[in-house]
Structure 1
């Protein structure tokens, strides 16, 4: 059972000039000063503290000033696609002519600048290779490129291993010795900062094109990548996301992003950060999961609205296919887990594998099963070379990359490679080592996670008074973001009398709730319920965790509670 608890205040929000409930929300997220709510570009961190950025700019100057050819090597997720598109768009704005990109197909090459991908890159005859959203772990590929006489500029944000690759320059806020304060920058943000530094250097040399380019035009890409890559929304990232959203709402976005908004059924003028994660991001990711991310990159690069619409429509269709595949895989995973008694003998670290699972969808599967079981999960699929490719997701208390490193030190023969972050990681595993790996991973998880950490808790921002159930507060909460990772959307809790309950669609529960101690009645909706548990006519009182929302239907606006969890009381 999920425990609903109240999120503690981290700071005193008393001086914030906002609704008292919103002030409480901000205080629980570490906001205490009014200037932290000023999400303007003048408060953006300067680029000068990024280690390696001066050397990187010097590598790029010949691309802009001498017509040298640059090959951008990206990644097959939203951050990689956005980083690639931003690099090419920005360099074009700054005057570069010889630009090309290459993104590895995950099924043929896997992640990063591998030696095999370098051989493909060399056929394009680049003078310089620049990695975006990858490269910090590509020791062999970088060595192969530089041995062939092609220098490599690495831009990345992932954690470094014990040694760095021998690249011509590295820009990564998470590399040793980098003093850039925001370690939560995504790959696209790193590229954006590099382009700002390059623009400043060209300005010093009096080599900027006329009219001088405004790189803030590209913040829609930075905002999309930041939210879709699920990096923490620290102060700097919140500024980047908010500024990107403002451009989109004002109609100043790229043709591709506008087309994705349209096929997703959203309105640009009402776009919020969550739409990047739940609507736009999955459609772009579908290309990299099922086919080739070049389709997504082309959507972000085109300036032709008609072409953008065609590409966005194709991405939308691919996303529908991805959802069908995912649902089938999830059903198989849940059937496998039924053999365990969920309360006692479910492994602490779950390793799931089916030979016919789709390699491009295992990351989503791992996330879904982690949400259902509140345990670290690794989902695996077989590749054509006899290896198992894995995608891992964690919970608070277990640093995934470190956990995989522990397994590797105990059994170095099992994993060909691995890498990632605290909450997400990837690996390549020997097929005959699955049982041994599963056992070792579970042991590592058991050592690091307590029973209390395995108890799923849902933190909320406390209860609302009857007067707080208002359109005014709902609007302020909507626009009080951007909300996202480590800066979660406001969530409240309370006891309610259950007045009505009925199924709508296939598995959504429509309710009418009455707050305890009030005559107020409120509409509520709970998506994706367990139909074996609901509706339940015997239940009269519930504890619910909810978001305060405004439902618009046929021109009518009504206050609505978006339920995240409901616990039966009586």
Structure 2
């Protein structure tokens, strides 16, 4: 085990924000300059009509409402796509739209976004007059053309970056806060946030036009969509600026009051979690992965059906199925991580890492890329075969093995070379992976078939025969932008060696009161040196560690937990009375009515133990040399 470098965050503000010095420093580190920024009341949400084309989109939808036309929502197969689709489907029905359906691309059959094939499927099975995209569409030029070729109309709602050409697909309206010409102050809405904003704007327009009164219907409360927009925003790992924090908090508060939809309550019940104490981390680490498993391993339609279903009996079964599916996803992920370790053990780790295995599961490559990125601290792309590529490769290999004529073999080789392998990229701070791909695409026409995404995550498809060339190009492009400090094995914390007086239940409660925490508004992390008083492995597999520790020079004693750090065959790398370096968060342990602060270790290093281990290894090595 290597020792990590621990760095304190630099405060981004010098404002006095709280009398508790720990909380004050945490908020300064997040760049908070005034108490007003911490006011997350619904009245502070940004105006939906600041989004470009919002007027066009709402007017178009109202025309379709009056005409009673068929609307089909085309979504994405991740958690943001599922919540976006659910918000749009449920929201339109709440607003009086009767003919609303949805369709989600199959990851392996159709690929991402509004592709011509998913447009064909929507046209054949849903018979829509208009297609509304959620969480996709801004770069779907061919799919958009197909919509109009078939006599339908298109409304795009998305949050992904616009095509580098600056052009938009053919559509009635393109509601996207990341359009080059969109003046909306926040560029961080997730797809579900954009969908929710469209519903809010549509309700206002219908109110202004007197449509609710004309149709004899009461104005719907869109607050019942808060849980969906909250979940999708956190799960999509978009930056939690003030506007997004308001949206997330609205959903958390509704859930804490017992008003969340049946699916969310049932997940908490089956996972033995208290829904009335929900945190943003529950969206990111529990709800999100369970929902995502549908899109990763099967079809996200199952996830959307779970979210929209109000029948308790059916919801119980749907939740059980997705929890089981998520366990399968975890096992597949573990196997793929082992594959990457074997591959990387046998080659030099580049600045930009590209790993390919033909038999990997397409739905799990993104998670695997994230795991590898955490280990190597470099941008990572994990690739696998598409169905078409697999079929082409197997035909070619069969022809080779059975000595087919050279012309046939050459033809099959060309088909395989031109078939696509695809995957996901995950990046590190400071390396905008979509810009990297854009640069490679410009410098090497034909090397990339298609790509899209954000700064920290992207999807990509390349021809089979371009793998080695792309691997080198990605490494070179990353090397040009990566500075040495970006890849250091380091941890950034808010405060090093917190005053023991403030490692307290009160501080932990205050941290919880400033929820939601998340991307770009990270939950507070601290570091410090502690003396180990006691420790013991815990858990069914004895793979977790429970400790009692004291800050150096202090009599205070704290319980601490460290997950997945040992096993019966690998004892904990720590000894009683040793001084450890640690990185931790503050949590509250509640048991039989008692509440006390608890340290949740993310990292622990016992330098004396490691030195002793190294000495023993050196002695053993010397003995072997003598023998």
Q: Which TM class, normalised by the smaller chain length?
A: over 0.9
In the other structure, the counterpart of 1:527 is 563
Give unpaired runs (5+ residues) of structure 1. none
Query: Are 1:546 and 2:580 counterparts?
Result: no
Aligned pairs for 1:78-97 (under 5 A) are 78-97=79-98
Aligned pair partner of 2:175 in 171, 176, 199: 171
In the other structure, the counterpart of 1:154 is 156
Aligned pair partner of 1:366 in 353, 366, 369: 369
Q: What is the DSSP-based 3-state SS (H/G/I as helix, E as strand, rest coil) of the residue aligned with 2:474?
A: helix
Distance 1:167 1:456 in 2: 47
Contact kept? 1:366, 1:393, Cα under 8 Å: yes
In the other structure, the counterpart of 1:419 is 452
Distance 2:326 2:19 in 1: 39
Contact kept? 2:177, 2:187, Cα under 8 Å: yes
Query: Are 1:380 and 2:418 counterparts?
Result: no
Range that drifts further, 457-466 or 40-49: 457-466
Q: CA deviation at 1:322?
A: 0.4
Distance 2:13 2:560 in 1: 31
Query: Are 1:185 and 2:189 counterparts?
Result: yes
In the other structure, the counterpart of 2:335 is 328
Q: CA deviation at 1:510?
A: 2.1
Q: CA deviation at 1:23?
A: 1.8
Aligned pairs for 1:22-421 (under 5 A) are 22-123=23-124, 124-161=126-163, 162=165, 163-208=167-212, 210-340=217-347, 345-386=348-389, 387-421=420-454
Distance 2:234 2:295 in 1: 17
Distance 1:201 1:90 in 2: 14
Range that drifts further, 58-67 or 305-314: 58-67
Contact kept? 2:583, 2:604, Cα under 8 Å: yes
In the other structure, the counterpart of 2:478 is 445
Aligned pairs for 1:11-26 (under 5 A) are 11-14=13-16, 16-17=17-18, 19-26=20-27
Q: CA deviation at 1:468?
A: 1.0
Deviations 1:48-94 (A, max 9, x none): 11000111011111332331110000000010000000011111111
In the other structure, the counterpart of 1:568 is 606
Distance 1:553 1:278 in 2: 23
Deviations 1:5-60 (A, max 9, x none): 1111111231x245332121111101121121211100010111100011101111
Distance 1:536 1:247 in 2: 43
Q: CA deviation at 1:568?
A: 3.2
Distance 1:46 1:155 in 2: 16
Q: CA deviation at 1:555?
A: 4.8
Distance 2:271 2:151 in 1: 45
Contact kept? 1:545, 1:564, Cα under 8 Å: yes
Measured on the aligned residues, the alpha-carbon RMSD in Å equals: 1.6
Deviations 1:208-234 (A, max 9, x none): 253211112211110000000000000
Give unpaired runs (5+ residues) of structure 2. 390-419, 609-627
Per residue, is there more helix in 1 or in 2?
2
Distance 1:18 1:166 in 2: 55
Please identify the structure whose Cα radius of gyration is greater.
Answer: 2
Q: What is the DSSP-based 3-state SS (H/G/I as helix, E as strand, rest coil) of the residue aligned with 1:71?
A: strand
Range that drifts further, 153-162 or 143-152: 143-152
Query: TM-score, normalization: structure 1?
Result: 0.96
Q: 1:452–1:538: structure 2 CA closer, same or farther, 3 Å change rule?
A: farther
Distance 1:336 1:260 in 2: 37
Range that drifts further, 169-178 or 298-307: 298-307
Range that drifts further, 557-566 or 514-523: 557-566
